[in-house]
Amino acid sequence: MFKVTASEIRDLLIAFIFISLSFSILYSGRNVSALQAIFPVVMIGLGLGFVLHELGHKFASMHYGYWAEFKLWPAGLIFALVSSFFGFVFAAPGAVYTYSGNYLDDKTNGVISLAGPVVNIILALVFLIIATLVYKQAFYNSTMQFIFIVCSLGFSTNSYLAVFNLVPIWNLDGSKVIRWNIIIWLVAIAIAGIMTYLSMTVGVENIVRILIGF
């Protein structure tokens, strides 16, 4: 049975605010006016991805019959904020802890760890599809323009969250996925990496224009 505790909701909310603020600082270039304007956009595009990433781990853990709970990592909050002033975001404000009661085999641990980045990849593609659908209307409709901006940022940030978490170091998801199956890890990080690279070099609007032949 899926259950979220009060402390888990509190920790997710705090992490959600900090990670959204960190990316807002990064994208605003530390300009206060720009920060105020972009913060709500980031909260939708990125914040949704962060929460669903963690819930992806939780659902996967509970699928195997294990209790899982998101817990805040206070140092991670500071790392996220500080790193945003240096051109990137260390996006690890907390993690879902799986309580198996015994040894967690590599496959189970790998699948649970992969669930979060896969959620981000899927969500990024959903954002890209929506951005493509509303692009032409965004030229003359302010609501559609806002949706396009949210979806553009949602594609970029969710792609980044996926590739960041798939890096096989420390306690990130990638270290557990690669221990389980290096081929699956390579495919996942390649997809996330290409998406991130395209969003940073080609740009989401140009990707959309290519897709619709505009």
Map residue 34 onto helix, strand or coil.
Answer: helix
C-alpha distances (whole Å) from 34 to each of 13, 39, 40 are: 23, 8, 11
pLDDT value for 204? 95
In a domain, 188, yes or no: yes
Tens of pLDDT, residue by residue over 114-152, are 999 999 999 999 999 999 999 999 999 999 999 999 999
Token pair, residue 148, equals 């396009």
Confidence of residue 1 (pLDDT cuts 50, 70, 90): low
Instruction: Show the CA angle centred on residue 192, arms to residues 25 and 111, nearest 5°.
Output: 110
pLDDT value for 29? 83
Instruction: Show the CA angle centred on residue 197, arms to residues 45 and 57, nearest 5°.
Output: 50
pLDDT value for 186? 98
In a domain, 98, yes or no: yes
pLDDT surpasses 90 at 103: no
Q: To which residue do tokens 């970029």 refer? A: 156
In a domain, 163, yes or no: yes
pLDDT value for 122? 98
In a domain, 152, yes or no: yes
Reference 50, options 18, 5, 74, 10; nearest CA is: 18
pLDDT value for 88? 86
Distance CA 53, CA 145 (A): 26
Tens of pLDDT, residue by residue over 178-211, are 999 999 999 999 999 999 999 999 999 999 999 9
Tens of pLDDT, residue by residue over 33-86, are 888 889 999 999 998 999 999 999 999 999 998 889 999 999 999 999 999 998
Residue-range definition of the domain harbouring residue 140: 6-212
pLDDT value for 177? 98
Confidence of residue 92 (pLDDT cuts 50, 70, 90): confident
Token pair, residue 165, equals 């978490």
Token pair, residue 11, equals 């920790």
Identify whether the C-beta of residue 99 lies closer than 8 Å to the C-beta of residue 68.
yes
Assess whether 54 carries a catalytic annotation: yes
User: Of residues 8, 54, 69, 205, which has the active-site annotation?
Assistant: 54
Token pair, residue 27, equals 């994208």
In a domain, 1, yes or no: no
In the chain, the number of structural domains is 1
In a domain, 135, yes or no: yes
